[in-house]
């Protein structure tokens, strides 16, 4: 009897299992550019000294209800905020100001450094917009927003206390398997960092509300990752809901953020 281990290269592959998967980045870029042309936007606001430490801020027509932050994915290796502007539309149409940060990518930055970078981004945006803060992130961005409400958050207490809900969309919450993937040549995860940066292995801050949102048609590893953090944080006393969005895969699961009435947007910013 031949016994095979997990193929971690395949476990984290998304585009290969999605029809026309390679077409999505161009589509995102076109939609984002069209949205910026009509939105009230402040682009490339600095939050740190590094060239990529910038965020875009979209403001509603009236006084904002609060600040919604969306953090992009790309395995900490690719993309910037400019590909995702259109995903601000749902929260923006509901009266929230929306910040979209980017960050220094691996291998120039380690993941723990990217976590601190997003902490600076949230802090900077929070100084510009009063009221409650909601966080959402996709894939690697789901990891980063979840880390903002862990017991070792890089945020100051006042800013962290304003965060009332986090939505991790297809997030990565157990980074240990990534040590076995070829991308670790760039991520440079060791056992200590993989463990300390895994939100599912940490304790959430008190009164944290987390929604782990994942496409029901996603790869098994992404389904596992979302279920893992929801279960782990519930066991530690937090409200943590798991939603498997029917028919959605890793690339189209975020589309609901562009619709103010979509359940994903409502999970993000509330009624």
User: Cis omega before residue 7 (within 30°)?
Assistant: no
C-alpha dihedral (102, 108, 112, 113), degrees to nearest 10: -60
Q: What band does 80 get if pLDDT is binned at 50, 70 and 90? A: very high
Listing DSSP states for 131-144 in one string gives S-EEEEEETHHHHH
Q: Do the beta carbons of residue 208 and residue 233 sit within 8 Å?
A: yes
Query: Looking at the predicted structure, is the pLDDT value of residue 102 above 90?
Result: yes
* Length of the chain, in residues: 271
Tally Cβ neighbours within 10 Å of residue 9.
11
Listing DSSP states for 3-66 in one string gives -----HHHHT--GGGSTTGGGHHHHHHHHHHHHHHHS-EEEEEESSSSTT-EEEEE--SSS-S-
pLDDT at 4: 61
Among 102-106, 206-210, 243-247, 265-269, whose mean pLDDT is lowest? 206-210
**Tens of pLDDT along 157-201?**
999 999 999 999 999 999 999 999 999 999 999 999 999 999 999
- When pLDDT is averaged across residues 114-142 and rounded to a whole number, the result is 98
Q: What band does 236 get if pLDDT is binned at 50, 70 and 90? A: very high
Query: Looking at the predicted structure, is the pLDDT value of residue 240 above 90?
Result: yes
Class (C level, CATH) for 30-269? alpha beta
Percent of the chain residues topping a pLDDT of 70: 99
Dihedral sign for Cα 117, 130, 98, 169, please.
positive
Q: CA–CA distance from 88 to each of 124, 201, 232 (Å)?
A: 18, 30, 29
What is the model's pTM?
0.96
pLDDT at 1: 40
Residue for token pair 């909601």: 134
pLDDT at 21: 87
For helices 111-128 and 140-147, give the axis angle rounded to 10 degrees.
70
pLDDT at 56: 98
Tally Cβ neighbours within 10 Å of residue 202.
22
Kindly report the backbone phi and psi dihedral angles of residue 255, in degrees, each rounded to the nearest multiple of 5, phi listed first. -65, -25
Average pLDDT, the chain: 96
Domain ranges of the chain: 30-269
pLDDT at 5: 79
Query: Looking at the predicted structure, is the pLDDT value of residue 3 above 70?
Result: no
Q: Do the beta carbons of residue 270 and residue 237 sit within 8 Å?
A: no
Query: Looking at the predicted structure, is the pLDDT value of residue 105 above 70?
Result: yes
Residue 35: which of 7, 55, 58, 4 has the closest Cα?
58
pLDDT at 2: 47
Q: Do the beta carbons of residue 106 and residue 186 sit within 8 Å?
A: yes
**Tens of pLDDT along 195-220?**
999 999 999 999 889 999 999 999 99
């Amino acid at each position: 009897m031949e016994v095979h281990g997990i193929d971690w290269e395949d476990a984290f592959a998304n585009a290969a299992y999605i029809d026309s998967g390679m077409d999505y980045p161009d589509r995102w870029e076109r939609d984002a550019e069209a949205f910026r042309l009509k939105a009230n936007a402040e682009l490339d606001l600095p939050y740190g000294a590094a060239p990529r430490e910038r965020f875009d801020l979209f403001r509603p027509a009236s006084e904002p209800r609060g600040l919604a932050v969306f953090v992009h994915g790309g395995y900490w290796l690719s993309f910037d905020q400019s590909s995702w502007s259109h995903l601000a539309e749902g929260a923006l149409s509901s009266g929230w100001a929306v910040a979209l940060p980017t960050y220094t990518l691996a291998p120039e930055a380690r993941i723990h450094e990217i976590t601190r970078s997003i902490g600076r981004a949230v802090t900077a945006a929070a100084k510009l917009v009063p009221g409650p803060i909601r966080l959402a992130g996709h894939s690697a961005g789901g990891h980063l927003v979840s880390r903002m409400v862990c017991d070792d958050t890089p945020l100051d207490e006042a800013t962290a206390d304003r965060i009332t809900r986090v939505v991790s969309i297809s997030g990565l919450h157990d980074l240990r398997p990534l040590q076995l993937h070829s991308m670790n040549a760039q991520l440079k995860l060791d056992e200590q960092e993989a463990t300390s940066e895994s939100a599912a292995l940490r304790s959430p801050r008190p009164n944290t509300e987390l929604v782990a949102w994942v496409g029901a048609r996603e790869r098994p590893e992404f389904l596992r990752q979302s279920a893992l953090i929801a279960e782990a944080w519930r066991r530690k006393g937090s409200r943590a809901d798991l939603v498997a969005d029917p028919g959605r895969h890793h690339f189209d699961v975020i589309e609901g953020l562009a619709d103010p009435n979509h359940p994903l947007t409502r999970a993000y910013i509330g009624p």
